[in-house]
Every structure is written in structure tokens, then in C-alpha cells.
Amino acid sequence: MHQIRKFFYYIVPLLLVLILPVLIINNQKVRQLLSKASGTKANISINVTNSLGPITPFWNSFAQGGEESGDMIAPVVGEIAKLQPQHVRIDHIYDHFNLVSKNSMGQILLNFTDLDKIVGSIRKTGATPLLSLSYMPSSIAVNGDITEKPQNWDDWSYVVRATVEHYSGRNNLNIKDIYYEVWNEPDLFGNWKTYGDKNYLTLYDYAVKGAQTATNTLPFKIGGPATTNLYKNWILDLSKYVTDNNLRIDFFSWHFYSQKTNDIPQMVSDLNNWLKSYPRLAFIPKIITEWGINSETDASYDESISAAHSVAVVRNAFYGINKLFAFELVDGPSPHDKKFWGRWGLLTHPKFGISQKPRFQAFLWLNQIQGNWLRVIGEGTYVQALACQKENITRLLLTNYDPAKSNTEDVPISLTNLENGQYLFKIDRLDKSLVSKTITVSDHKFTTNIVMPPNSLVFLELTLQK
């Protein structure tokens, strides 16, 4: 008996010391999960007379990666045209399209034939190109490495000048409002810095000087730095450099791959604060030239979660972002011979038949957000919304974006100050379950409830019958 008491006297406190932290941590995790699961539920209210002004779409630009060296746009021109794209961005223009070479005398030779083909396909979609000035032509690069410096900086400047004259030149392709972006993810591809021997600021300097010496051109824009994310040191160093050297910069650009769609407002706020020391640059357009849910291959790109994510990103970029370039338009070829393999495209690779992924439908609905913005009150932790009114049509696009895939809501919807009369009421979902019926509004108000499973989209339309 004495031995038992001794055991409890010494061992039990020791066990408590070991177990108690685990219990506390697990309890905290449970509370966090419960808190996350509950969140703030949406209760959407829209006064249709409360307009925020006319809509200027900023979300309908797209990027295409260089996963094949040929014209990846040509086979999907018809599908892309449905997205009504403003701009389409391509990179790898100097290493995938046989553009730059040297003859036996060491003279630079330029052949735009292959690049012209994909630029032509972009224009057939109704879009204007954004050309990422990347990567270094192997014929002028140190050791032939396309992520390296040029052997001679004047060669780099000349190639950029020739590119601008060819595409923006009045006597050449004569394309207005092309965007030229200096490099693609310089912090990753080439490990460029804003100091030292391999300096992005030098790369930018010679590119801009080359573009500026282009003659007889239509208006175009040039900017950067197109980093993998928004980095304070890159923005501040580039801002100081262009200011000190009186260099042109028409836009700031970066990439954004994240599940956290609500990071964008903070990005804009940070950027605005960083630029307070450079008032000349304060109102330069801010564009995200690649974005998605993950920078790596991810099954989400084939599922509804990427569609819900896309609408949430657009919603959170409402203030401050001038252009968004969703990455990417069409999948590269699968190394596993699969149609769906978690690649970034809105469309599958043509080898397996072109299919629209859920994210494609999200952009079709976004493009129906036209007319005037309407103020939305009552968004929740997960359910967010965009609303508009054009003539006699009120539209509402709802997203329930939840990376944990656990939040289901029965969302109350209230539209007030409607004109009394007969309306055609439509609800559409990603699963194509369309509701269409005629309703009567007699008290200037319409209410309904919409059940939204995790990562669902709902497109609601109310049309006054006249």
C-alpha cells in the first residue's frame, strides 16, 4: 500500500506535467477550428438605388505560360474569345520563338515570324498583348544562359528597341497600348537582385532606354518588376532608381499565388505607403500579371474551389488593383497523359479535347457584372458578393470560398428599392442547376434564401419585365 501511495505521489504529477500541455494545445486547436467553422455568416442586403458608379472591368486579362515553344493560343482562340479578354500576357518571347541570333560577323539578327504567330492569335481573341521581355536571348547571354546577363548591355537594349518598334511601330504591326514588362519573376529566374553585379535595376535601365529610343511608335506602356510576390525592397529600390535616373515606369507589377484572397487589400495599402516618398509614382497603375490559388500544380485548378477562389480574389481586388492577369489560359501537355492533372489552365490541353474548367465559368459570370456597381452589405467570413445593375437587370455573383471545405450557409438575400412589377428571376450554379421563374414585386422588395455548399458559386439575375 505504501508503494502504491508512493507511485501516485511521484508519478501522477509527472504525468500531468507531460500531458497537460498536450491537452491545452488540443483544446486550443478545437476552439480555433470551431471558431473558423462558425465565422460570420452572410446576410446579403442590396439597395438597388445605392450605386457606386460605373464598372470598369479589371479582371478580364489573362496570362499564358511557356509550357510549349509554339503558339499555344491558336487552338483555343474561339474559347478564349468568350472571356472577352483585354490583354493576354506571354513570356519566354526571346527563348521560345527563335527571335534572336547572330551571324558569323557577330551581328544580331532578328526574326519575328514565330512570335508574330502567337501575337496574331492573341489579337484574334480580341485582346492586346502584354509581352514579358524575357528571357535573355541565348545568342547574347553570358555562357548562353537565358537567365543570365547579356555579354553586352547595348545588345539587350537593341533587342528591346527592335521588339517595341516591330509591335508598336506604325510601319510594322502597328498595335496600340501594348504592355512591355521587364522580365518574368527576376527574383526566381536568374536570382537577380536590386544590387551587386547581377542587378535587375541595370536590366530595367537598358530595357527602358531601348524602348524609349524606338521610333515612330503608337502609345505603349513599360514597367516591372514582375516579382514572385510584392516585395518592399524591390519596389523601393526600383522607385529610387527610376526617380534618381529620370527613367520611365508606367506600371508596377508582381505575382500573387495564395489561398488567402484577403491579402490583396493589405498589399495595396502597403504599396501606397511605400510610395509616399515618391509622389511622382504614387498613382502609377498596379497590376498583378500572374495569380492563382497555387504556384505549383494543384488539383484545385480542376475543381470548383479554384472558381470560388477566383471570384473572391476579384472581390478583394476591387479597390486599388488596376489589372489582374489570371494564370493561365490553357494547360500544358501532361507528362502522365491525363486530361486533368492539376495544371493551371482554365482550359484543358487540346490533345485530350478542349474542356472548360469551373474557373472558366467563373470568368464568364464575372463578365456579366456590367453597368453600375451596387453596394453590398452583409458579407460574411466566407460568403462574399459582387452586385451590379444595368438598365432593368440586377445581377449578383456570390462565392463561398473556404479552403477547409467545411462551410455551408443558407444565405439570406434582400434586394430593396426595386421598381414594382413582374420580374424574371434566375439562379445559376456551377453544377448547371438553373432556376428560372416569374415573380411579382409589390412592396419594392425581394427576398430569398440561397443554400451555398463550400466553394460554390451562385449567379443571380433579376430582370424587370416591361
Identify the CATH number of the domain in which residue 170 sits: 3.20.20.80
Tell me, yes or no, whether 361 and 389 share the same domain.
no
Domain membership of residue 11 (yes or no) is: no
Domain membership of residue 334 (yes or no) is: yes
Q: With contact defined as beta carbons under 8 Å apart, do 367 and 84 qualify?
A: yes
DSSP summary character for residue 430: T
Domain membership of residue 32 (yes or no) is: no
Please state the rounded mean pLDDT for residues 54-71.
95
Report helix, strand and coil shares of the chain as percent, to nearest 5: 30, 30, 40
pLDDT in tens, 348-390: 999 999 999 999 999 999 999 999 999 999 999 999 999 999 9
Number of Cβ atoms within 10 Å of the Cβ of 173: 18
Residues facing residue 398 across a β-bridge: 385, 458
Please state the rounded mean pLDDT for residues 137-159.
98
To 5 degrees, how large is the angle CA 410–CA 305–CA 375? 55
- Give the number of domains in the chain: 2
Among 338, 366, 394, which residue terminates a domain? 366
Res 420 pLDDT > 90: yes
Of 201, 212, 120, 118, whose CA–CA distance to 160 is shortest?
Answer: 212
pLDDT in tens, 27-44: 443 333 333 456 899 999
Of 362, 288, 296, whose CA–CA distance to 326 is shortest?
Answer: 288
Tell me, yes or no, whether 353 and 388 share the same domain.
no
CA–CA gap between residue 255 and residue 295 (Å, rounded) = 10
CA–CA gap between residue 228 and residue 314 (Å, rounded) = 19
Tell me, yes or no, whether 325 and 403 share the same domain.
no
pLDDT in tens, 267-288: 999 999 999 999 999 999 999 9
Q: With contact defined as beta carbons under 8 Å apart, do 68 and 330 qualify?
A: no
Tell me, yes or no, whether 238 and 190 share the same domain.
yes
CB-based burial label for 336 (10 Å; 0-12, 13-18, 19+) = exposed
State the DSSP H helix or E strand holding residue 95, giving kind and residue range, or none if neither: none
Q: What pTM was estimated for this model as a whole?
A: 0.91
What is the domain extent for residue 378?
41-47+374-464
